[in-house]
Chains A and B, each alone.
Chain A
């Protein structure tokens, strides 16, 4: 008994001496982006329990310091500063693009590696002195636009119309989609805009209909993406309708109902993990994540957004193990952070829930659309796998 007690004391002291590896996490657990941020936070809570059971990484305890930015850029930047001062080895987050962009100068100045969970390509491109420290896991519009255009070409689409949000989301999609479409010989015959809060898009729909495109892409996210699709159908449009991966949540299906039947959209493979062919690289990892998440939070509770957070940890964990061999965070934190960054960039062929990550000096997203996007169709109010690009 005495011996056991002594051993426990010794271990505790040893653990204290070494200290836990702190990983900073910033997510939008409240505010308008909460439906994305909450599954991300839940994923880290789940990871914390898992790591506590496993005893951490390479024999060292890992502690996630999770902060909420309330979907606000200022708060995200403040959180980042606080995490840097607390001595975290890396920062994961945040949920939204503007706030992630705001965090970049802070982590670059402090020389802390960061893995963002937001969509835009601007977060990691071009890899300049500041973005040297920044990586991200979600697919960009550019990557998904490539998948959509590939699908359109395969279906023999010649002319295409676009209608999207009159904000950064819709403009980003317009830019990348129209460039990719032109490069592949598609003719963009209409490019319209509308607002999330609009109550009618009849004018835009009529303009698109007058040009008779073979397909229409709706560059919108969430439930406001339903309105153009319903209006087009009500006005007698019979061609193909594409949406972006911004609608891949159950609310879109709930509000859309039968109006969104037959919609085509690109999505991360995890959205239809069970339907993926056995040889698809992400299938096993995605099913593993879904099973763990549903065991913790209930059947049907998982979302593709929480999986981006899981991917960030899948990348960070082996990099941490390798970096621990090169430097000791307790003796020289700055050297360890630099070593960790190099090890993240050295990630090659890492299979995650949303694709296969291979970072290079020029590419801090490291996904190819063949592995990271699949085409999905809405059928009987469910997501159905339509095509893989491999």
Chain B
């Protein structure tokens, strides 16, 4: 191994790591606020670039139908004035998609908003009722395990729908920025890195400085206490899902030109983000992000030294992480 190879492996590891990092941040955020381990985040990520490709070819993607169907269910679940939001959102989305056929700039926006709408609708339709339906009231809600099972089910369903909507082959949208900065680093790669840094910083500012972010943190910390202060946990959950879907969609759109988008792309990305989030104990944002970079680097070096065992070695990282977490835990499980 010489310096060039070392450099390229490091660069590759960091580039992959920050993507896992973004997804891991989104996972930690959603878990903190709603106790949902967002397994289908990879699928939400995959829907964005594939919908974009469909729009650029002048076709309406199947994901639009899915979003509108979930939106309709959402509207049914709401009472009174709450219905306005999903209905207006759905109509707006449909109009945007009709306009965006053939307009590249609008297509990006449409794909982005579609995934955000879909993400929020997913929370409202599938996860929030589980909490309300719990016999013990709001204090406990559905267990983490029940929410996890729902999340895994949604992951399988969305991946299957992805296959139906977009077929088994890969697609490659054009990069936003063409060309290469240096060997091993494209401008698109720089864009991904910059986006990761900006969104990490934005999340930090949002939670530390803005009232809304503080409210989210409060809801995550203590649901009853937050409620007493006038913060509705349901709204907090929706906002958390909206932010997570937005991050997933943006990373998907930025990443697709580098790695090709296909219906199966989401699962592995989501799973590796999950490994990173576990390294951070599903609570710490900085540790999760650093853990993700670590996973990326580890992956990059194992693919050089022992490519046949790469995946096995990456997931073996879970063992020491879970072991450490179990030693630290003070025995307070939900």
CB within 8 Å of B: which residues of A? Answer: 32, 34-35, 163, 166, 192-204, 206-207, 210, 222-224, 226-227, 234-236, 251, 255, 257
Q: For the complex, give the distance between the alpha carbons of A163 and B308 in Å.
A: 10
Residues of B within 8 A of A196 (CB): 264
Q: Are B16 and A203 in contact (CB under 8 A)?
A: no
Q: Which of A198, A207, A234 contacts B304 (CB 8 A)?
A: A207
Stretch in B113-121, B169-177, B211-219, B238-246 with 4+ CB within 8 Å of A: B169-177
CB-defined contacts of B265 to chain A, threshold 8 Å: 197, 199
- Distance in Å: Cβ of B17 to nearest Cβ of chain A: 11
* Distance, CA A198 to CA B271, complexed state (A): 12
Rounded to whole angstroms, the CA-CA distance of A236 and B259 in the bound complex is 18
Contact B262 A203 (CB under 8 A): no
Given contacts A166-B308, A194-B307, A207-B304, contact A199 B259 (CB under 8 A): yes
Please provide the chain B residues from 1 to 53 with a CB less than 8 Å away from any CB of chain A in the complex: 5, 8-9, 12, 15-16, 19
**27 CB-based A-B contacts, threshold 8 Å:** A32-B163, A34-B168, A163-B307, A166-B308, A192-B308, A196-B264, A199-B19, A199-B265, A200-B12, A200-B16, A200-B303, A202-B300, A202-B303, A203-B299, A203-B305, A204-B307, A206-B304, A223-B169, A223-B260, A226-B170, A226-B260, A227-B259, A227-B260, A235-B8, A255-B169, A255-B171, A255-B260
With the chains together, A210 CA to B151 CA distance in Å?
Answer: 43
**C-alpha spacing A227/B16, complex, angstroms:** 15
Q: Distance (Å) between the CB of A68 and the closest chain B CB?
A: 15
A197 to B45: give the CA distance in the assembly, Å.
Answer: 14
Question: Nearest chain-B residue to A199 (Cβ)?
Answer: B259
Check A202 against B171 for contact (C-beta < 8 Å). Answer: no
Known: A197-B267, A197-B268. A203 touches B303 (CB 8 A): yes
Docked pose: A345 CA to B17 CA in angstroms: 56
Taking the complex as formed, is B102 at the interface, i.e. its CB lies under 8 A from any CB of chain A? no
The residue that B168 contacts in the complex, of A35, A200, A203, A255, with Cβ under 8 A, is A35
Nearest residue (CB) in B for A222 is B169
Pick the 10 closest A-B CB pairs, nearest first: A203-B303, A203-B304, A223-B170, A202-B12, A199-B259, A251-B169, A193-B308, A197-B268, A192-B307, A193-B307
Q: How far is the CA of A152 from the CA of B247 in the complex (A)?
A: 47
**Contacting pair B169 A203 (CB below 8 A):** no
Which residue of the partner chain B has the closest CB to A36? Answer: B168
Residues of B contacting A222 in the complex (Cβ-Cβ under 8 angstroms): 168-170
A202 touches B307 (CB 8 A): no
Closest-by-CB residue of A relative to B180 is A234
Q: Does B255 contact A (CB under 8 A)?
A: yes
* Alpha-carbon separation in the docked complex, A35 to B258 (Å): 25
Known pairs A199-B16, A255-B169; A206 contacts B311 (CB<8 A): no
Pick from B267, B269, B303: contact of A204, CB below 8 A: B303
Q: How many residues of B contact A (CB 8 A)?
A: 38
In this assembly, does B301 line the interface, its C-beta being within 8 Å of a C-beta of chain A?
A: yes
Q: How far is the CA of A37 from the CA of B16 in the complex (A)?
A: 35
Of all chain A residues, which has the CB nearest B15? A200
Q: How far is the CA of A200 from the CA of B303 in the complex (A)?
A: 9
Which residues from chain B contact A200 at a C-beta distance below 8 Å?
Answer: 12, 15-16, 259, 299-300, 303
Whole-angstrom distance from the CB of B174 to the nearest CB of chain A?
10
Report the minimum CB–CB distance from A361 to chain B (whole Å). 38
* Residue pair B262, A223 in contact (C-beta under 8 Å): yes
Which residues of chain B (303-318) have a CB below 8 Å from chain A?
303-305, 307-308, 310-311
A235 near B184 with CB under 8 A, answer: yes
Whether a CB of chain A sits under 8 angstroms from the CB of B284 is: no
Q: How far is the CA of A234 from the CA of B184 in the complex (A)?
A: 7
Indicate whether B143 reaches chain A with its CB closer than 8 angstroms: no
Q: A199, B300: Cβ atoms under 8 Å? A: no
B264 contacts A206, C-beta separation under 8 Å:
no
A248 CB, min distance to chain B CBs, angstroms:
13
* Nearest CB on A from B128, distance (A): 31
